[in-house]
Amino acid sequence: MPRALGPRHSVTTLGHIDKGQRTVQMAVGFTNGRSVATVSTVERHNVRLSGLPDGQPMLFAHGFGCDQNMWRYVAPRFETDFRVILFDHVGAGESDLSTYDPERYTSLDAYAEDVLGICRELDLRDVIFVGHSVSAMIGVLASLREPDRFAELVLVGPSPRYLNDVGYTGGFSEADIEELLTSLESNYLGWSSAMAPVIIGNAERPELGRELTESFCRTDPRIAQQFARVTFLSDNRADLSRVTHPTLVLQCSNDVIAPVEVGKFVGTTVPQSTFELLDATGHCPNLSAPDETSDAILRFLRR
């Protein structure tokens, strides 16, 4: 702007939470001026490796609500005999939040593709996939896409569909899921507005993103909302019968999220499956009963 009348040129800028810089594309090819560094899949997902470097890979996938720490009491049990791989889904834990694209993560397929991306980048073969909660179905989808990568599946608290349907009891109505979304929203009060500009991916200040994720099991509310929707509105019943790998279904007693009937449905629908009912109650036996959970998985692997 002209400088002639200096003091009149006050520049005002609004606070904003929009993504990146907006530019108008004209006759020539145009990018928005900010170069997006290529982030490796391993960095994007905060992949952590432990155990036997040459061992058979065990890939542990966490569910909705937390991050790879869900496996902190279980994974160590397998480090003596296996190559243990932990990761965070994009949007969770210390994953690269700036690579969360709401347009992409509209179904579990995108998450399954991420799992395959990790397998490819680490060149994993013969993978034992251990998926908790929604990641059980993510693993099923990944195994259907690239069956050759996988050896066995362990599904902890799986549910192919959370909503009730004709002739099927998932346990929830749509109103229940809406209530969960409200619950998420009300527990992020006061947090989201302060953090929003950060979450969107502030390439210039990556330390802000780290600060955010250090607070454990916290997720950007908007990502949590979308992941909740994708999770609880998914329907993968038709995929179960197509699974070709030996599969362990670990079912908790008294699980409000994945009731016993649902686990049994998975057990009877997946062709080569072993159904095991744990004494553990609740939805997170990997936290509440890590030994029972690990023992059951080891029994299955050594069968």
Partner 1 sequence: MNSEVAFQRASDAFPVDTLFDLAPCGYVITTPDGLLVRANQPFCRITGYDEHELIDRRRFVDLLSVGGQLYHETHFLPMLQMHGTAREIALDLVGRDGSRLPVLVNSVLHRADDGTPIAVHTAVFEASHRRQYERELLAAKQQAEASEAKLRSLARTLQESLMPPALPVIPDLRVAAVYHPAGEGHDVGGDLYDVFEVAANDWCVLIGDVCGKGVDAGIVSALARHTLRAVAMSSALPSYALHTLNEILLRHESTRFCTVAVLRLRREDGMWRIVTSIGGHPPPVVVGPDDVSPLGVPGPLVGILASPTFVDTERVLRPGETVVLYTDGVTEARAPDGVFYGEDRFHRTVIEHGGPASALPRHLVDDVLRFQAGPARDDIAVLAVTAALPD
Evaluate whether 58 touches 85 at the Cβ level (below 8 Å). yes
From the candidates 220, 255, 273, 294, which is the catalytic residue? 255
Whether 133 is catalytic: yes
**Span from 6-14, 74-82, 234-242, 295-303 in contact with partner 1 (CB under 8 A):** 6-14
Q: Taken in order 89, 91, 92, 98, is the CA torsion positive or negative?
A: positive
Tell me: does residue 204 bind partner 1 (CB under 8 A). Answer: yes
x/- string (CB under 8 A) for partner 1, residues 109-148? ------------------------x---------------
Q: Which two tokens stand for residue 30?
A: 């145009």
Assess 180 for contact with partner 1 (CB under 8 A). yes
Per the CB < 8 A criterion, the answer to whether 250 and 223 are in contact is: no
Q: Which residues of 224-236 are buried (b: 16+ CB within 10 A; e: fewer)?
A: bbbbbebbbebeb
Pick from 99, 42, 98, 92: which is nearest to 67 by CA?
92
Judged by CB under 8 A, the stretch of 76-84, 88-96, 249-257, 260-268 that binds partner 1 is 249-257
Cα 38 → chain centroid: 21
Specify the amino acid at residue 208: L
Is residue 177 a contact residue for partner 1 (CB under 8 A)?
yes
Q: With contacts defined by CB under 8 A, how many residues of the chain interact with partner 1? A: 65
**Nearest-approach distance from CB 158 to partner 1, in angstroms:** 14
The least distance separating partner 1 from the CB of residue 176, rounded to whole angstroms, comes to 4
Distance, in Å, from the CA atom of 17 to the CA atom of 5, rounded to the nearest integer, reads: 32
Q: What token pair was written down for 208?
A: 């802000």
CA distance 222 to 204: 21
In the complex, what is the shortest distance from the CB of residue 101 to partner 1, in angstroms, rounded to a whole number? Answer: 18
Burial of 144 per CB tally in 10 Å (0-12, 13-18, 19+): middle
Q: Does residue 207 interact with partner 1 by CB under 8 A?
A: no
Binding residue (CB under 8 A) for partner 1 from 7, 29, 53, 167: 29
256 binds partner 1 (CB under 8 A): yes
C-alpha separations of 5 from 2, 11, 227 in Å? 8, 13, 52
The yes-or-no answer on residue 98 being catalytic is no
Q: Which of 45, 89, 245, 283 is catalytic?
A: 283
Residue 283 annotated among the catalytic residues of the structure: yes
The β-bridge partners of 156 are: 132, 250
Nearer to partner 1, 5 or 166 (CB): 5
Q: Per CB under 8 A, which of residues 43..102 are in contact with partner 1?
A: 63-66, 69-70, 72
User: Toward partner 1, which CB reaches closer, 24 or 166?
Assistant: 24
Residues 192 and 200: their CA atoms lie apart, in Å, by 11
Determine which residue in the list 55, 76, 117, 282 makes contact with partner 1, applying CB under 8 A: 282
By CB under 8 A, name the one of 101, 120, 216, 244 that touches partner 1: 216
- Residue 36, interface with partner 1 (CB under 8 A)? no
Between CA 44 and CA 38 the distance in angstroms is 10
Please tell me the distance from the alpha carbon of residue 139 to that of residue 130, in angstroms, as a whole number: 8
Q: Contact positions toward partner 1, by CB under 8 A?
A: 1-5, 8-14, 16-18, 20-24, 26-30, 33, 63-66, 69-70, 72, 133, 172-173, 176-187, 189, 192-193, 204, 216-217, 232, 254-257, 281-284, 287-288
Catalytic annotation, residues: 133, 255, 283
